[in-house]
A and B are shown apart, each in its own frame.
Chain A
Amino acid sequence: MNVVVCVKQIPDPAAPQSFDSSNYLDRSGKLILDEADTYGVEMGLQLVDKAGTGEVTVVSMGSGSELAGVRNALAMGAAKAIIVSDETLRGTDALGTAKVLAAVIRRVNPDLVLAATESSDGYTGTTPVQLAELLGFPSITFAKSVTINGTNVEVNRQTESGYDEVSAPLPALVTVTAGVVEPRYASFKGIMAAKSKPVEVLSVADLGLASEVGPAGARQEIIAVERAESRQAGEKYVDEGDGAAKIVAFLESIKVL
C-alpha cells in the first residue's frame, strides 16, 4: 500500500495576511504545514499501517526553498518527500499546480493519493480533482472516513443531506475533510528521524513543465484588489445578567420574535 499525500506549505493563517505588489498572497514569511493536510498525512499513515506494507510519500510544490512544513509531515511518520521548488512557480494556478503534482506522482506510482478538500490559503478546492483527471484516476472528494477493502477504496462521502458510501477501484484519489482522523503530534524521536529522511528536490525544468506554470500558464489575471464595503459595528454591552434580555429585545426590533 503506497500512499502519496499532497501537502502545501502556507503562511500561518492565524497571522495577518496581505497581498504583495503582484497581488499574490505574500508568502515571504515563515511557512507552515497547512493544518488541513495533517488529516491526509495521518490517514495515509494509518492505511499503510493497517496494510502492513508500503509507505507514505509526501509531495509538495512551492516557489521558495522552505522545508519546515514538509519536515513536519516526515516527523509525523511519512517515509520520504518529493518537492518541486522553483521560483518560476510563483503565480501558478490550480491547474498548473495539478500538472506539476501529476508529473511527480507518476514517478511514485502510488495505490492511493490523498489530499485535503482545499488549502487554507488559496482555498481554490479544485487541484485534487484536476490532479485525478490528469492521472486518469477515479476520485472521491469530501471523505468522512476512508478504508481499503481489497483492491477498492471505500469512502463515506459528505453530502448535503447526510453521506454516501462510495467505492472506487485503486489507484484512486481521495480528499479528506478535517476531523476525518485525529492527526498525531510529531514526537521528539519523529522530529529527529525526519532530519535524515530523504527529501528529493526537483525543478520545473526537471519535469518539462516550464510553459505550464507561473502567470503565463495560469491564463487568468488579477485585474484589481479593492476594499469591500465594510459593515459597521453596532452596540456592544458587557453582560451583567441582562445579555439574554438585550438579545430578545433586538430580535423583537427586527421582528424575528
Chain B
Amino acid sequence: MALSSIWVVAEPSNGAFTSASLELLSHARSYGAAVSAITWGDNSSDLAAQAGDYGAATLYDVGTLNGALPGAAVASAIAALIAKGETPDVILIPSSYDGRDIAGRLSARLDRPVLTNVTGLVDDGGLVTEHPAFGGTQIVKARFSGEGPGIIVVRAKSFGAESGGGASATVVAAPSGDTGATGTATIVQSHIEERSGPKLEEAAVVVSGGRGLGEADKYALIEEAAKLLNGAPGASRAIVDAGWVPYSQQVGQTGKTVKPTVYIACGISGATQHMVGMKGSKNIVAINKDADAPIFQIADLGIVGDVHKVLPALIEALKTRG
C-alpha cells in the first residue's frame, strides 16, 4: 500500500521550526504523499511559509498553549483531527523533550503503538523503521501491524534538511481536544542558560569528556579545548549521571546524536550507550589510558595516554597557534 498521507509534528523554536522538524518534513516529502505539519505556539501561523518550503501542503495550527506544556494539548488536537475523519498513514515526531511527550500522549489517546529511536525509514509496502541496537553495531528493522496510524519518533540527524521551494502551506486551525487534568502542567518561568559557541548538535567540532577525567573540575579542560576549536563540549552518560554536567550536554543513546566533522573523545571508554550517539561523526579522535577501550575500535586516531597530560598539551598547542 503506497503512503498517501504523512503528518509531521513540527516543533516551533524562536519563530522557526527546529532542525529536527525540518529533517522530518524533508524526508516525508520524498514519498510523494500529501504532507501535513502540525505546530503550536503564539504566532504559529507565521510558520506557514517555512512549512510549505519544506514540503507541507497543510499546516494544522494548535495555536497558543498559554504556558501549558505541549504534550497533552498537541496530542489531543491531533486525536481530534483524526476523530473528525482525517486519516494519516503515519505520524512522524522529532525525538525531543516535547516531541516524546506528544508521542506518548497520542499513543495512549489513539490506542496505537509507537516506535521510537528511529534512525532510518524505508518504504517497503508500508514504512519499515530502523533502530540502532547495541551501540549501533546492529540495526533492528520493525513495522506496525493493524489498522490506524502508526506513531514514529525519529532521532535528530537521521535525515538531511533540504528546502523544496514549495508554496506557503494552507493554515488550518486544529480543533482543541479535551485535555482535562492531563493538560494542567504549566510553565511558570523559563530560564535560558547562556552558552557561548555553537550548539552541540550543530557544531563542526565536539570535544567530549567521560569518567576518565577523574573529577568534575577537570571538565573545564573539555570546555576550553572545545572553545579553542570553535566547537561544543559534550559528555558521556557517566559524568552526567554523576552530576558533573547537565543532561543537555549528554551524547549517546539517551542523549543527543551528533555528527560533527570531528569528535574528540577524552577519557571516554566507549560504552555502547555512548557510541550510538557519535559513531556517525566524520572523524573520531580518542584519548584514553586503556589501550583496549572499545572507543579505539571506531577511532580514526587513537592516543593511548593520560587525558590529564594529553589534553592540557593539546590546549597549549592550540593556544600557540592562536
Q: Write the residues of chain A forming the contact surface with B, with a CB cutoff of 8 angstroms.
A: 13, 17-19, 23, 35, 93-95, 98, 117-118, 120, 123-134, 136-142, 144, 154, 157-169, 172, 177-179, 182, 218-228, 230-231, 233-239, 241, 243-248, 250-251, 254, 256-257
Contacts and interface: CB of A to CB of B under 8 A. Distances in A.
Contacts of B85: none
B298 interface: yes
Interface stretch (B24-32, B52-60, B311-319): B311-319
A138 B188 CA distance: 15
Contacts of A19: 133, 138
Given A141-B101, A239-B304, A257-B321, A221 B142 contact: yes
A117 B101 CA distance: 11
Given A178-B240, A179-B241, A142 B97 contact: yes
Contacts of A243: 287, 303, 305, 309-310, 313-314
B153 A233 contact: no
B161 to A, nearest CB: 17
Interface in B118-177: 128, 132-134, 136-146, 150, 153
B13 interface: yes
Contact of A246 (B101, B143, B298, B301): B301
B254 A118 contact: yes
A141 B97 contact: yes
A10 B178 CA distance: 37
A215 B271 CA distance: 30
Nearest to A239: B305
B297 to A, nearest CB: 5
Contacts of B3: none
A120, A127, A228, A233: most-surrounded residue (chain B CB, <10 A): A228
B253 interface: yes
Contact of B304 (A94, A238, A241): A238
Interface in B42-90: 69, 71-72, 75
A219 B190 contact: no
Contacts of B96: 160
Nearest to B286: A236
Interface of B: 13, 69, 71-72, 75, 96-97, 100-101, 103-105, 107-109, 111-117, 128, 132-134, 136-146, 150, 153, 180-193, 204-205, 229, 237, 240-243, 246-248, 253-254, 261-262, 264, 271-273, 279, 282-285, 287, 291, 296-306, 309-311, 313-314, 316-318, 321
B125 to A, nearest CB: 12
Given A17-B134, A220-B145, A134 B190 contact: no
Contacts of A218: 113
B308 to A, nearest CB: 11
Given A219-B144, A220-B113, A129 B193 contact: no
B66 to A, nearest CB: 14
Contacts of B283: 250, 254
Contacts of B299: 233-234, 236
B305 A219 contact: no
Closest 8 pairs (CB-CB, A-B) = A239-B305, A129-B104, A244-B313, A133-B108, A234-B300, A236-B302, A162-B193, A168-B185
Contacts of B246: 144, 158
A231 B301 CA distance: 12
A35 B117 CA distance: 20
A178 B249 CA distance: 13
B117 A124 contact: yes
Nearest to B108: A133
B89 to A, nearest CB: 15
B143 A223 contact: yes
Given A95-B113, A126-B116, 10 more contacts: A95-B111, A118-B254, A129-B104, A139-B182, A164-B191, A178-B237, A179-B241, A220-B142, A228-B137, A256-B261
B190 A169 contact: no
A244 B264 CA distance: 12
B149 to A, nearest CB: 12
Given A95-B113, A223-B143, A233-B298, A244 B310 contact: yes
B182, B298, B304: most-surrounded residue (chain A CB, <10 A): B182
A125 B131 CA distance: 14
Contacts of B180: 136
Contacts of B75: 133
A120, A223, A243: most-surrounded residue (chain B CB, <10 A): A243
25 contacts: A13-B271, A13-B273, A94-B113, A94-B114, A95-B111, A125-B116, A126-B104, A126-B116, A130-B114, A136-B181, A158-B246, A163-B190, A166-B185, A179-B243, A222-B140, A225-B141, A227-B137, A233-B299, A233-B302, A236-B302, A239-B305, A239-B306, A244-B310, A244-B317, A254-B262
